[in-house]
Each structure stands twice: as C-alpha cells, then as structure tokens.
Amino acid sequence: MNEILIEVRNLSFYYGENRVLKDISMGVSKNMVTALIGPSGCGKTTFLRCFNRMHDLYKGNRYEGEIIYNGENILRAHDLIKLRSKIGMVFQRPTPFPMSIFDNVAYGLKLKGIKKRSEIEAIVEKSLMEAALWDEVKDKLNSPATSLSGGQQQRLVIARTLAVEPDIILFDEPTSALDPIATSKIEDLIKHLKDITTVLIVTHNMQQAARISEYTAFMFRGELIEFDKTENIFTNPKEELTEKYITGRFG
Amino acid sequence: MNLVKKRKVKNIIALSVSVFAAIIGLFWLVFILSSVLVKGISSINLSLFLNDPAPPGIPGGGLRCAFVGQAIITVIATVIGVPIGIFGGTFLAEYGRNKKYTAVISSLADMMTSFPSIVVGVFVYTIMVRPMGHFNGYAGAVALAIIMIPIIVRTTEETLKLIPWEVREAAFALGAPYYKVIKDIVYRSAITGLFTGILLAVARVAVETAPLLFTSFNNSFLTLNPNQPMPSLTVTIYQYAMGPYKEWHKLAWGASFVIVLFVLVLSILGRWIISKRYGSE
Amino acid sequence: MENKFYAKDGLFKSLSFISALVIVLICIAMFTVLFIFSYPAIKQFGVIHFILSDAWNPVKKIFGGAGAIYGTIVTTVLSLIFAIPTSLGIAVFITQICPHSLKKYFSNAIELLASIPSIIYGMWGLFTLAPIMRNYIEPFLQKVFLPIPVIKYLFQGTPLGIDLLTSGLILSIMIIPFISSIARDTFELVPKELKESAYAMGATKWEMIKDVIFPYSKVGVLSGIIIATGRALGETMAVAFVLGNDHNIHLSLLKSSTTISVTLANEFTEADFRLYLSSLFYLAFILFIMSFTALGLAKFLLKRIKK
Ligand SMILES: Nc1ncnc2c1ncn2[C@@H]1O[C@H](COP(=O)(O)OP(=O)(O)O)[C@@H](O)[C@H]1O
Ligand SMILES: [Mg+2]
C-alpha cells in the first residue's frame, strides 16, 4: 500500500457565489503521479490551485472542507510563503523570470535565504540535471532565460521548482503550449520526477494521463466522478460518465 | 454629371482636404522648429554657457546661471517625483488593482497630466513661498515634481499592467512575498518602459515655465543654493523676450535653441527605446 | 525569515499606497488652498458679479473676472475651430491614406508638436508669427470681412498681431496633436468587417469614412476634443507672449485681451494687497474648476467607450 501525502476531504470552492468545486475527497499518493482529467471548465485548474492557496491572491474566493498535509489543514495555513515553498507549481505557459538561466533556478534558493555561492551552484546544477536541461544550458547559464525555446523554458521552470525541493509539484497542462517533441521530453521528465517528489498534474489529453500517471481522477462539472488506478480508469471504469469520456462519446 | 461620377468627385475632394490637413500639421512643425533653430543657432557660442548675464547694452553676457539653476531645480524635482511616481504607479497596478478607489486615483492622475501648470505654481506659492517668506528653488522643484508625479504614476501603471500576470503567479508559487515579486520580476521585466516613462516625464517638466514663475522666480546671479530665488532658462526666456533689448532677444533665442534640441533629443531617444523594445512584435 | 518577508512586504505596500494617495492629497489640497485664498474676493464680489464684470482695476480696488474669462473662452474656442478640422484630417490621413511605411514617421512627427515646450510656442509666436499676422494675414482678413455686415465687428481695429486671433492660432497648433492622436486611435478601433461591408455596398472611401468611421468613433473624438479644451483653457506661456494684457472685453478678434492664466503670469507677483491677490486666486480657482470639469468629462466619456 502506498503512503498518502495529501488528503483532500470534502473540498468545495466558490468564486464569489459560484460554487465551482463540489465536495471533493481524494488522496494524493507520495512519490506517484496523479492525473486530473475532465472536460474543459470542469474545475481542474481551480482544484489544483487550492493546494498552494493560489486563490488567496484574489478577493471573494472561498474554500470549504480540508486539505490535510503533514497533519495540518492547508486551507487553514497562515504562512502561505512557507506553504508555497513546499508545494511547487508549473503553469500552462512557460514563465521564465526576466533574469539569467542560472538566476532563474537560484531564485527560490535566494528566497529561502541560502547565500553560499557554492551551495547555490551545486543545487542549480543538480536541479537542471533532474529537469534534463543541464546538457543543453551548461555553457550558457548566464544567458537570459527568454533565449531558450518554449520546451526548454518549461523544463527550466521545472528545474526552478525542483531547486527548492518541494514535497509535491502541481502541473497545470504543462505541455499544452508545446510541440510534440518538447511534449514527449516533458512527459519523460515527469515520469522520472516521482523518484524525487510527488506529482499532481492536470491534463486535457487523456493519452498523456494514461502514459505518465499511476492514479487518475476524472472530474465533471466540479465533481469528482471517479478516482482510481490509471489502468482501471482507462480499461475498466466503474462510472458510465467516465467511460463515455475516455471513449470520446461525450456530449 | 451622373451620380456615380459626382460621388467620385466628392471622394477625391474629401481625401485631398485630408491630405491638405496633414500638410498643414507638418508645415507647423517644420515652421516652428526651423525658425527656432535658424534664429537660435547664431546665438550659440561659448559665452552663452559660460558667462552670467551682463547689464543691458554690454555685449558678451550669457545664461550660465540659468542653465545651472534649471539643472538644479530639475534634479531636485526628479529626486522627489520619481520615487513617488514609481511607487504610486506600482500601487495602482499591483497591490491596489481591481479596487474601485484605484480606478478613481488613476483617473485623477490622468486628469492631472493635463492640468494647468500655472495653477500648480499658484498652489506651491501658497504652501511654500509664503510660509518661507521668499521665492526659492525648492519651491520650483516641488512644483515641477507635482507635475511629474501623475505622469510617472500613469506610465508606471500602464507599463506594469503589460507584464503577464502568470509570471507573477509563478513567483508567488515559489513562495515569494509580493514585494519581491514586484522588485525581482515585475520591475525587471518592465525596466525599459519605466525608464522611458521617467525620461519623458523629466523632459516634459524640465522645460516648464509657468509653475516656476511664482516659485523659484528668477535671479540674474549664479546661485547653487536652492533656498534662494533661482534663475531658470525658461523664465529667463520669458523675461528676456518680453524685454526691450536686442541682446536679450538674442540670448532668449539661444536658450530656446538649446531647449528645443534637448526636447527633440529626449523624445526621439524615448521613441527609439520604445520601438526597439516593443516595435519588433 | 518569513516574518522579515511579511514586515518588508507591509512596508513596501504602505509606501506605495501613500505614494498613490499623494495624487489625491494634491488634488484636495489644491482645491482647498485655492478656495481659502480666494474667499475674501468671493465674499467681496460674489460669484455672478465677479464672472460678469470686466472691471479690473487694482487702483480702485475693483476686480471682475469677465475679461480674463472671456479671453480664456474665446482663445479656446478659436483654437478648437482651427484645430478640429485639421486634426480630423490628419487622423483620416494617417489611418486611411498614408502609405503603411510612412505611417509611423508621420504620426511621430505630429506628436512631436506636443513635445515642443509652450515657452517655445510663445517665443515663436511673438517674433515669427505675430509679424506675419500683423503684416499679411490680418490686413487680408480685414479686406475680405470688413465689407460684410455683422462679421465685420470681429475684424475691426488696427492689426497688431498681438491679439485673440494669433493666440487662438498658436493654441490650435498646440492641441492638434492631442485631438489627432486620440482620433487616430479611435479610428483604428473600427472593426474591419464594418469598413469592408461599406465597401462591399459600393461606397467610396470618403463615404465609408463619413458613414462608418465617423459615427463609430464620435465619442472617442469628442473626448479627445474635450481633453484638448482642458489643455487650451489652462495654457499660459504660449499665449502670454501674444495676447497682451487687456481686461476689457472687445468683440474684435484683432484686439488684445487676456486669459486667466496670462493674468496670473503677469500680475501674481505684483499683487500688493490682499484683495488683489485674492482676486487672482479667485481666477485660479475658476480655472481649476473649468479644467477639472472638462478633463473629468473627457475621462467619463473615454471610460464609456472602453465598456
Ligand atoms: N477567476 C474566476 N472567477 C470566476 N469563475 C472562474 C474563474 N476561473 C474559472 N472560473 C470558472 O470555474 C469553472 C472551472 O474553471 P477551471 O478550473 O479553469 O476549469 P478547467 O481547468 O477544468 O478547464 C469554469 O466554469 C470557469 O468559468
Ligand atoms: Mg484549466
């Protein structure tokens, strides 16, 4: 049996009056890849952004329920800065910061107060290796991050996230802005990430979920319809809705 | 004449009128610039920059004190105006975005950029010159800063709003506090725009006259002390141009030449930076 | 560690909030100061009487603002009469006629007019434009208009070049870039399909401009005109050189006059008793209200289009 890193209990979420997530409960297994699938607008992004309290940046948003992590409820956490340094996030489009490749990866370390140059250099190199980018950038660490291609930028963002050693990384459709070759590199990378961390990934692409994840959650209109081992979801779904969705007979 | 032909003739007339309007616009520009440059160039010599004003009738006077005074006033105004403007614009675009009162402040700032500058002069006269008992350079600088602040607030706000929101979220997701996100991510991305905004604001206030009339006033001696009445190029031009002496007029043209050159260089530089940064897209 | 972050963020936020507040404080302080200092004159002369009387006599200690207000309004209206057609023509030229490769240069050239300092307009007006007006334009206008009844009253007097007409002309050159750039921007917002459907119905270019572009962008153009009005109302140096300083109201455009801002520029440092100074503040206060109203109206209109 595997260890549960984060446990979601009866989570509901409101944009103002609009209830977008309805009573979701599920567990995210440690050192596994868990995929979130479902039609566009079903609330995948919204769900993902509950884990690092991204919704707190905007007014009028409200959570109900619990997300238990390390024995505490994320939704009651006071120190969001600390929370976010343990829960990494990678966005749909690459988000390189306006600085060099090296400084991008080092940014989170500097936030943590690490000052020693040699320590920073070691972690930057390690993170870039883990993100399978080291060989491509080792000779131009001081070039601006924007000089990289889209796929490289996305792996840079992953390296930046890995550098602070998060317990989990949240991915929101990380390959939807990339070409097929860049996509397959990122997919390979994510498959390997479970050795060092935990992954929760939103994807609009069912094949991708099937290829890279151990667990899959299918969402529909803000509800969690089915959550199971990925192979079960794709070969033997229990719910009719799930079957309809994965066989493409939807709507 | 048939109807179609009539319509075509009308079309040609209307379009010609618009071409003519364009020519008029260009004509004014060329007319003004050329007459200032032509009349001014003959007054440009070293003594314009190195000498202080001579008594009327005696040749060889210059406007050194006015150049120095103008520079001092502008620098002080910049020191006051730039931080307030950048911070204020940052609030509107970042901490205060989506708040109702932010939109009000932004509109106010926008209106202030077109506000009569002479009224600012009157205002600063009452809050500074009167209490201090005499005209002084600081008051002139404050008046210019008041004109500069809303301009920088607006350009800063607009520039920061152009930075994609996602990049900020990515920094938040790493656990960065907002001030670090602004400092490390937003300002860095926006640096060219911010710099251009400052440049254009400085260029604009550096050549203001009306707000200085009742604040820094004028003085025909070199002074480095902003606590005294301070001469400025623009006020000196006004005084000299309205005065009766030929030499004064000549100096006024020389000063005008310098001012026009200054403005041209800065606005062309500003446009060049903008087009280099954003033009390629 | 994290505590330090929160403290610094709070500091940064407060600093930026205070800086934004400076804008509001300046506006409120200006209003208050102008009102307080003009109060003695308001009490002495009232509102209606001050606005309607053109008696401005420091020796007799009688002040009326009508002369300055009249000059302000006439120069502004004149400048709008000259600038609106020119600016619209320029905007049409830039958006519809100008070859694409020249568009940017031409736009920049027109906007350069806006960056020329007003003191330069004043210098140029006094030494270059005024003589031309005096020697050529104004005598010509008199030859044309003096024989015409009623209109002749606008052109009476000896042409001096230092008058309402010259001032209005200079102001118009200054505001052309404002109107034309806003007009250009709103013209470019007109959806392509709309323009194409006019052409598809066989309209000529001018008909398309007149029937599609103008109606579609009228609010935007109007707000540009109002912003320009706000600018023209408060402009000081460009007119201070070429308007003279005459508080009496003359019907003729070839007579010197004054505006609120010109009066302030000429008399503020000379006002040697309380009521005189207070009357000048009163004028400044009136200008403040006029500009604020115009600019606020323009802002309101622009907000409406954005929705
Ligand atoms: N910031 C927001 N404010 C209000 N409603 C939102 C916001 N973001 C998303 N929604 C709504 O919430 C629902 C779920 O959106 P989202 O989580 O983005 O879906 P997904 O990522 O599955 O496509 C949608 O109906 C969307 O319209
Ligand atoms: Mg989504």
Secondary structure (DSSP) of A217-233: EEEETTEEEEEEEHHHH
Buried/exposed A174-196: b ≥16 CB within 10 Å, e otherwise: bbebbeeebbebbbebbeebbee
| Residue B27 covered by a domain | no
Q: Which residues of A touch C3 (CB under 8 A)?
A: none
Domain that holds residue B160: 48-278
pLDDT, position A251: 55
Residue C289: per-residue pLDDT: 96
Cα(C280)–Cα(C284) distance, integer angstroms: 6
Counting as contact any 3 or more CB pairs under 8 A, the partners of C are: A, B
Q: Helix crossing, B246-278 with B233-242: angle to 10°?
A: 140
Q: What is the CATH classification number for the domain harbouring B116?
A: 1.10.3720.10
What's the rounded Cα separation, in Å, for the pair A21 and B143?
Answer: 55
- Cβ atoms < 10 Å from Cβ of A125: 16
Has residue B19 been placed in a domain?
A: no
CB C47 within 8 A of CB C279: no
Question: Is residue B220 in some structural domain?
Answer: yes
Query: What number of CA atoms fall less than 13 Å from residue C174's CA on the CB side?
Result: 33
B166, B176, B184 ranked by CB distance to A95: nearest: B166
Tokens representing A22?
Answer: 């309805």
| CB < 8 Å to A89, chain B | 169-170, 173
How far away, in angstroms, is C139 Cα from ligand 2 center?
Answer: 73
A72-73 sheet: strands from edge to edge: A18-29, A4-15, A61-69, A72-73
Ligand 1 atom nearest to A47, measured from its CA? 17
Residue B280 has pLDDT above 50, yes or no: no
C233, C301 Cβ separation under 8 angstroms: no
| Residues 6+ positions from C246 with CB-CB distance below 8 Å | C67, C255, C256, C257, C258
Q: Does B11 map to a domain?
A: no
Beta strands in C18-122 (DSSP E): 56-57, 62-63
Topology of C47-306 in CATH? Answer: MetI-like fold (1.10.3720)
The answer to whether position B21 is within a domain reads no
Report which of residues B61 and C271 the model is more confident about: C271
Mean pLDDT, chain B, integer:
92
**Exposed e or buried b per residue across A143-162, where buried means at least 16 C-beta atoms within 10 angstroms of its C-beta:** eebeebeebbbbbbbbbbbb
Classified as helix, coil or strand, C62 is strand
Q: What's the C126 CA to ligand 2 centre distance in angstroms?
A: 65
Question: Position A63: which residue type?
Answer: Y
Is A14 in a helix, a strand, or coil?
A: strand
User: Which value does ipTM take for this structure?
Assistant: 0.93
Could you tell me if residue A113 is left (phi over 0), alpha (psi between -120 and 50 degrees) or otherwise beta?
left
CA-nearest residue, atom 21 of ligand 1: A45
In order along its 307 residues, chain C shows pLDDT tens digits of 457 888 999 999 999 999 999 999 999 999 999 999 999 999 999 999 999 999 999 999 999 999 999 999 999 999 999 999 999 999 999 999 999 899 989 999 998 999 999 999 999 999 999 999 999 999 999 999 999 988 999 999 999 999 999 999 999 999 999 999 999 999 999 998 898 889 988 899 999 999 999 999 999 999 999 999 999 999 999 999 999 989 999 999 999 999 999 999 999 999 999 999 999 999 999 999 999 999 999 999 888 877 6
pLDDT value at B1 more than 80: no
Q: Give the span between the Cα atoms of B44 and B63, in whole angstroms.
A: 11
Is residue C117 exposed (0-12), middle (13-18) or buried (19+ Cβ within 10 Å)?
A: buried
pLDDT one-digit tens code per residue, A177-205: 899 999 999 999 999 999 999 999 999 88
| Residues C272/C276/C280/C283 CA torsion (nearest 10 deg) | -170
- State mean pLDDT over A80-86: 91
Tell me which ligand sits closest to the C-alpha of residue A49. 1
Rounded Cα–Cα distance for residues A171 and A47 (Å): 12
CA of A189 to the centre of ligand 2 (A): 21
| Minimal-distance CA residue of chain B relative to A161 | B174
Q: Please, are residues A74 and A83 in contact by the beta-carbon 8 Å criterion?
A: yes
Determine contact, residues B186/B165, Cβ cutoff 8 Å.
no
* Residue B2 placed within a domain: no
Lookup result for tokens 């080092």: A106
CA separation (Å) from A181 to A186, A187, B18?
9, 10, 54
pLDDT of residue B278: 60
Average pLDDT taken over every residue of chain A: 94
* DSSP one-letter string for B210-233: HHHHTTT---SS----TTS----H
Cβ neighbours of C31 (radius 10 Å):
15
Average pLDDT over residues B245-262: 93
Residue type, C258: T
**Torsion B144-B146-B149-B150 (CA) sign:** negative
Identify whether B181 is part of a domain: yes
Task: Examine residue B30 and state whether it is found in any structural domain, yes or no.
Answer: no
Chains contacting A (3+ CB pairs below 8 angstroms): B, C
Residue B188 to residue A97, Cβ atoms within 8 A: yes
DSSP state of A144: B
Which residue is closest to A112 within chain C, CA to CA? C1
- Among residues C101, C97, C182, C222, the alpha carbon closest in space to that of B11 is found at C97
Task: At A183, list the tokens.
Answer: 């996509």
- Tell me what pLDDT residue B253 has: 95
Across the interface, do A52 and B173 touch by the CB < 8 Å criterion? yes
Q: Give how far Cα B36 sits from Cα of A49, A54, B41, B260, Å.
A: 62, 58, 8, 8
Cβ contact (<8 Å) for A157 and B170? yes
pLDDT of residue B153 exceeding 80, the answer is yes
C-alpha C182/C-alpha A242 separation (Å) is: 54
Q: Specify the amino acid at residue B25.
A: G
Per-residue pLDDT, averaged over B159-174, amounts to 94
φ, ψ for residue C11, nearest 5 deg: -65, -45
Over residues A129-135, mean pLDDT: 95
Distance CA A218, CA A195 (A): 24
Contact B188, B171 (CB under 8 A): no
Residues A43, A45, A49, A54: what is their CA dihedral angle, to the nearest 10 degrees? Answer: -110
Contacts of B3 (CB under 8 A, 6+ apart): none
Beta-carbon separation of A79 and C1 below 8 A: no
Which residues of chain C does B94 touch, with a Cβ-Cβ cutoff of 8 Å? 16
Residue pLDDT, tens place only, B202-232 = 999 999 999 999 999 998 888 899 999 999 9
Per-residue b or e along B151-166, where b marks 16 or more CB atoms closer than 10 Å to that residue's CB? bbbbbbbbbbeebeee
Cβ contact, residue pair A99, B184, below 8 Å:
yes
A169 contacts A199 by C-beta, under 8 angstroms: yes
Q: How far apart are CA B84 and CA B104, in angstroms?
A: 18
**Does C6 touch chain A if contact means CB atoms closer than 8 Å?**
yes
The H or E element containing residue A6 is strand A4-15
Give the count of domains, chain B: 1
Indicate the pLDDT class of residue B268, thresholds 50, 70 and 90.
Answer: confident
